[in-house]
Structures are given as structure tokens and as C-alpha cells.
Chain A
Amino acid sequence: MLAFLVQRISQAVLVMFVISVIAFAIQDGLGDPLQQMVGMSVSQDEREAIREEMGLNDPLVVQYVRFAGNALQGDLGISYFYGKPTMDVILEHLPATLELVIGASLIIIIFSVPIGVFAAIRPQAWLSKFFMGVSTVGISIPVFLTAIVLIQIFSIGVTVDWFPQDAGWGQWLNAALSTEGGLPSYGRGDDLTPLFGTWESGFFSQGGLLHLILPSVSLASIMLPLFIRLIRAEMMEVLQSDYIRYARAKGLSSSRVYFLHALKNTMLPVITVGGVQIGIMVAYTILTETVFQWPGVGLMFLEAITRSDIPLIVAYLMVVGLIFVITNTVVDLIYGLVNPTVKLTGKKA
């Protein structure tokens, strides 16, 4: 176990090193901090003097060591646009993204477990086939398109007048297919509750929760089909195993067999895959936040790109890289803990 721990953690450190080198290369290759600081009127000699003073003429290795040393202390430079430390800017935007991810994860857990389990228990039922069909289509719909359709239906509203208004059934169909809209689709709203530090939460007010609905449903829509399929596949495999047959032969009620005995062993691989997927969700938050103008780190990153705010881009890369590395390592370690048969050394074929 200790060897596994050391191996995983050293791998994480190595990956973080590579990310920091890439981030440093971007910073070095793209931005000339001098140009951002001084105007046209500064002479060539003065520029050289400032360069020397800032250490921009030092060898690259020395510059990298300085960059990495500062990064370790949480100093990733000053944002050009916001004019304050990039870490502060990121910490201000992080709570919004975290709440979005939490909201989406809740939706995924609430819906994927019952649907996946049902589809595994009754694979032939029309409802299961319906859910599996919907999830195939769901995988093919990009997250921003889901978001736009949701905005059209629930925020702007749809008026249907295809059916004759004078006939009773036509009127009813028109009314049934039309939606009023009205759900907020822009930002987080005004009534946020301050929690601690820069964290203002939308979970404790009606307005905040209403603003959360559409973005988190959109973000959940991309992962939900994946999880339904995964839970179904794992559950079907578990249901084939001997201990389930034994539990049935013992005469346990089928709900006890399904939800106590089978579900427990189904959830293990689901949780480990899920941990990695939640890391991947960070990429999709960029898309979701762009559509809904959700003031999280994803939108901040995209704005930083349009503004060529290089320190902020670099800081975002480092922070997101760290989040990815930590989730992957923790998931690996948990998996190693609960499943001792995991190979300790690297993959040897």
C-alpha cells in the first residue's frame, strides 16, 4: 500500500511539474510584461534597465525556478484586466463554479441511480428501452445546444399554434405544447447568501435556486446518459454473480437483494469513474457558463482569452491542472484502498 501511495503521489507531482513548465512556456512565449507596463515613450535604454531589474534577462531556468517558487506560495502574478493578484480573482469566481458542479452532481445522482438500476433489473421493459434510447440521443447532443434549447423552452417560452384553435382538442394540444418560460437564464441573481470568505451561495434563497436550475440541468445532461449506461452495465454484471443467486435462494425479498446486496457492489466502480468524470466536468463548465453568463471560473477563463490576460490564463491552467491531478490521485487511492487487487506497479502487459 505504501509503495502504491508513493508511486501515485510522485506521479502527481511529476504531472504538476509538466503543467507548470507548459504554463511557464505560455507565459514566457506570449506575454511581454514590459509592454503591458510601460508606454511608447520609454526609451530603449530604460527598457533594458527595467528588463534587467525584473530579471527578464536571466537564463530561462532561473526564471522558471522563480516562477515555480512563487506559484508554490500561491503567487501567480497580477491580472492585467482586474489589476489584482490572479489567485484572488480565481478564488472570487470559484464558488459559482463549485455550486454549479454540486447542483449538476445532485441531479446526476438523483436520476442516474434509479434509472440505471431499473434498466438493469428489467432490461426488456419498454421504459428501459426508452431510457436507453434517450441516453443514446443524449450523448450526441452537445452541452451548449441542450442549454440553448432549455433557454428557448423554459426561459423565453414557446407558443404553439399548429392545431385549430376553435376545436377543443386543438386548443388543448396548443396549450399543452406551449410553455410560458420565465426561468432565469442569465447569471446567478441578486439574493446570494454570504457564507465565508468570497463564497456567496445561491443555495439558500429562492432566487438563487431558480438561477441554478437551467445551468445545472444543462451541465448534468452531458454526464447523465454516461452514468445511466455505466450503472446499468455494472448492475447487470453483479446480478449474474453467485452471491446474488444465493441471496435469492435464501428467500430474501427482491428489493432487499437489489438495493442492499447488488447496489453496494455496483456503486464501487461507479464512484471511481464518477470521480474522474467530475474532474472532466470542469471542461464542460466553460461551455455552460458561457451560455448562461454564469460568473464562474470558466467564463472568467474565456474572457481572459479574449482580453489576452495572460497571467490569468496561466493561473487558471495551474489551478485547473491542480484540481485534475488531485481528483485523479484521490480517486486512484480510494480505488486502491477498497479494491486491494489493484496492480501496485505500472501496467505491465
Chain B
Amino acid sequence: MTTATLSRWDRFRESFLWYSFKRDKVAIASFIVLLSMVLSAIFAPLLAPADPYDLAQINIMNSELPPVGLDGSDPAFPLGTDAQGRDLLSTILYGTRVSLLIGFGAVVLQAALGILFGLLAGYLGGRVDSILMRIADVQLSFSTLMVAIIVGAVFKASFGNLMFGEVAIYMLIFIIGVAEWPQIARTVRASVLAEKKKEYVDAAKVMGFRTRRIMFRHILPNTLSPIFVIATVQIANAIISEAALSFLGLGMPETQPSLGSLIKSGFDYIQSGSWWISLIPGLVLVVLVLVINLLGDWLRDVMNPRLYKG
């Protein structure tokens, strides 16, 4: 057991991936920033000075306090407080957690859908291919954000506000996952088309393997690197989409805020001078999305897959 993990670790250290990572300062910096954000989001309950979900800890008298260093700030609230008197640092930590959870969840869902439909379209071809890709074309031409807004609007109108607030996390994962599957499906399909012609697939066919086994056990592992690259960028897209939906009031409720709904709730107070409520979470959001995008760029350069160009 230990030898297996050791040798895997050694193999990783010998790999081109690790080699090029060590030489790329932007990639290292982005990775460190991302890792620390993910870790602080995961351990938010331990790190955060206050629990923003706990109404008993909130005092309305503390509302709209500025960050430390400005007039009228309170050292108990390093980044200030929002309009309800919640500690902004804690709310941001919890909000990053919600945003990351939705981002990862949505990408897992769209990867599942995209891989399944991409494999089917690419390997089976013919009618299945043209129907699936036509649906993908139409959905992409509408822009994923538009599809997500419409689906979100329909959900919200049919569930009502209260009910929607309770299931919002799952709804958002579902909405963004369904809205963005074509991106991954097209990439998978393109690389399946290239793999399909190779000899090992013919060999597997001759040996009499079933179609399903060839698709998932033989072809899929060889299409993983483009999936990996595009999934990274898609996490950033999903986080932006979630923030946009929450900003429009179609996402996370204010009682359980994500970065997007924090920005929204702060926007209502920006005219009264409390810029920090929306701009500090905004900065966190931009940094999060930027480092993921930079890592995605680096992965694309290293793995150099044939990505589908839209």
C-alpha cells in the first residue's frame, strides 16, 4: 500500500506536469492563492470569528461598521460589518464556501452530462450525434447565462421565495450544470472523434467488447486531459454565473449568502457610503475567478489538448 502511493508520488514528481509547474511563477502563485482560499472556505467554521447563520450573535447596533483603519471601525470586525451587523470577514468566509460548493457541484454535474452526451455523440455518430449537437448548438447560441437566468426565473416563479431559499444551493447547481453542459460535450465529442479511429479501439472491437465498455473503459481515459482543462475554466464560469444569478435575486438568499448575494446586499447601501459591503466580497470573487482562470490557462498550455474552438 505504502509502496504503491510512494511510487505514484515519485511518478508525479518525475512528470512533465510537475516540471512545468515548478518553472511557472504565475501558476505557483495562483495555486497557492487558490489553495488558501479553498482551505479557508472549508475550515470557515473554525476560522471565522462569528457564525453569520446564527441570529443570536448578530447585533443590529453593529451594522455598517467600516473596515479597520477607517474612522468609526471596531477592532472586533476586521473587515467591517454589513447592513445587518454581521461580521463581514466571517460572512465572506462562509460565502466563499457556498460559491465554491456551487461552482464545483455545477461542474461535476455538467461534466457528467457533457461526458455522457459527448461520448454518445462522438462514438455512436449518425442520428444521435446530429440531434445532441443540434441541441448543444441552440443552447450555446442563447448564451449559458441567459439559459440559467430563464430556468432560474421559472423555478423561482413556481416555488415562491421561501421554498426557493431552502433549496437554492441544489437549484443553482442544477441550473448552472444544465445550462453549461454543451461546452464539455463538444470538447469530449471532438476528442472522441479523434480517438475512435485509433487502432486500440479496433482491437477492442475485434476482441468483442461491448460498446459501453469500449466507450467508458477504453476511449474515456484518453479524453481526460481536455476535459480536465475545460472543467477548470468552467469552475470559474460557474462561480461567475452563480454570482450573477444571486445578484439578480435568483440565487442564494441573504440569510445564507454566497459572494454574489453579499455583493447584491451591499449594493443597496453603496449610495450611503458603505462601499466595503459590496466591494470587499467583490474583490474576493474577482481574485478567486482570476486565479482559477490563470491555472486553467497554464493547464491548457501544458496539456495542449485539441480544444473545441467555439
**A141 part of interface (Cβ distance < 8 Å):** yes
A143 to B245: give the CA distance in the assembly, Å.
12
In the assembled complex, which residues on chain B have CB atoms less than 8 Å from the CB atom of A102? none
Comparing B16-24, B208-216, B224-232, B263-271, the segment that makes contact with chain A is B263-271
Beyond A148-B279, A151-B270, A305-B153, whether A140 also contacts B244 by CB under 8 A is no
Q: Which of B193, B278, B293 contacts A140 (CB 8 A)?
A: B293
In the assembled complex, which residues on chain B have CB atoms less than 8 Å from the CB atom of A324? 141-142
- B247 near A290: Cβ-Cβ < 8 Å: yes
Q: Which of A15, A140, A143, A302 contacts B286 (CB 8 A)?
A: A140
A17 to B103: give the CA distance in the assembly, Å.
33
In the assembled complex, which residues on chain A have CB atoms less than 8 Å from the CB atom of B158? 29-30
**A287 part of interface (Cβ distance < 8 Å):** yes
In the assembled complex, which residues on chain B have CB atoms less than 8 Å from the CB atom of A286? 149, 248
Shortest distance from the beta carbon of B232 to any chain A beta carbon, whole Å: 13
**Chain A binding surface SS class:** helix
- B263 near A148: Cβ-Cβ < 8 Å: yes
Beyond A152-B275, A313-B153, whether A15 also contacts B293 by CB under 8 A is no
In the assembled complex, which residues on chain A have CB atoms less than 8 Å from the CB atom of B125? 349
Comparing A46-54, A119-127, A203-211, A277-285, the segment that makes contact with chain B is A277-285
**Per-residue CB proximity of B132-161 to A under 8 Å, as 1/0?**
011000100111011001100110111000
Shortest distance from the beta carbon of B121 to any chain A beta carbon, whole Å: 10
Q: Which of B129, B146, B271 contacts A282 (CB 8 A)?
A: B146
**Chain B binding surface SS class:** helix
- A142 near B150: Cβ-Cβ < 8 Å: no
**A44 part of interface (Cβ distance < 8 Å):** no
- A152 near B270: Cβ-Cβ < 8 Å: yes
In the assembled complex, which residues on chain B have CB atoms less than 8 Å from the CB atom of A145? 263, 282, 285-286
- B243 near A139: Cβ-Cβ < 8 Å: no
- B267 near A291: Cβ-Cβ < 8 Å: yes
Q: Which of A156, A290, A302 contacts B271 (CB 8 A)?
A: A156
**A41 part of interface (Cβ distance < 8 Å):** no
Minimal Cβ-Cβ distance residue in A for B144: A283
In the assembled complex, which residues on chain B have CB atoms less than 8 Å from the CB atom of A328? 141
- A30 near B154: Cβ-Cβ < 8 Å: yes
**A96 part of interface (Cβ distance < 8 Å):** no
In the assembled complex, which residues on chain A have CB atoms less than 8 Å from the CB atom of B193? 349
In the assembled complex, which residues on chain A have CB atoms less than 8 Å from the CB atom of B27? none
**B50 part of interface (Cβ distance < 8 Å):** no
A149 to B263: give the CA distance in the assembly, Å.
11
Summed over the interface, the residue pairs from A and B with CB atoms below 8 Å come to a total of: 99
- B249 near A306: Cβ-Cβ < 8 Å: yes
**B57 part of interface (Cβ distance < 8 Å):** no
A75 to B153: give the CA distance in the assembly, Å.
22
User: Which among A29, A145, A308, A320 has the greatest number of chain B C-beta atoms within 10 A?
Assistant: A145
In the assembled complex, which residues on chain B have CB atoms less than 8 Å from the CB atom of A141? 286, 289
A139 to B297: give the CA distance in the assembly, Å.
13
A313 to B150: give the CA distance in the assembly, Å.
9
Q: Which of A15, A156, A276, A287 contacts B248 (CB 8 A)?
A: A287
A324 to B141: give the CA distance in the assembly, Å.
7
**B204 part of interface (Cβ distance < 8 Å):** no
**A228 part of interface (Cβ distance < 8 Å):** no
Minimal Cβ-Cβ distance residue in A for B271: A156
User: Which among B125, B134, B150, B240 has the greatest number of chain A C-beta atoms within 10 A?
Assistant: B150
In the assembled complex, which residues on chain A have CB atoms less than 8 Å from the CB atom of B285? 142, 145
- A313 near B157: Cβ-Cβ < 8 Å: yes
**Per-residue CB proximity of A260-302 to B under 8 Å, as 1/0?**
0000000000000000100110111011001100000000011
Minimal Cβ-Cβ distance residue in B for A137: B290
Shortest distance from the beta carbon of A174 to any chain B beta carbon, whole Å: 15
**Per-residue CB proximity of A124-156 to B under 8 Å, as 1/0?**
000000000000110111111100110110001
- B270 near A305: Cβ-Cβ < 8 Å: no
- A302 near B282: Cβ-Cβ < 8 Å: no
**B130 part of interface (Cβ distance < 8 Å):** yes
In the assembled complex, which residues on chain A have CB atoms less than 8 Å from the CB atom of B156? 305
Query: What are 23 of the A-B contact pairs (CB < 8 Å)?
Result: A15-B138, A142-B240, A142-B244, A144-B244, A144-B247, A148-B270, A156-B271, A279-B143, A283-B146, A283-B149, A284-B145, A286-B149, A290-B247, A302-B248, A308-B157, A313-B157, A320-B146, A324-B141, A328-B141, A346-B130, A346-B134, A349-B129, A349-B193
| Known A143-B244, A306-B249, A324-B141; further 8 A-B contacts with Cβ < 8 A | A140-B240, A142-B289, A148-B282, A152-B275, A282-B146, A283-B149, A320-B146, A347-B133
- Shortest 3 CB-CB contacts between residues of A and residues of B: A283-B146, A280-B143, A140-B290
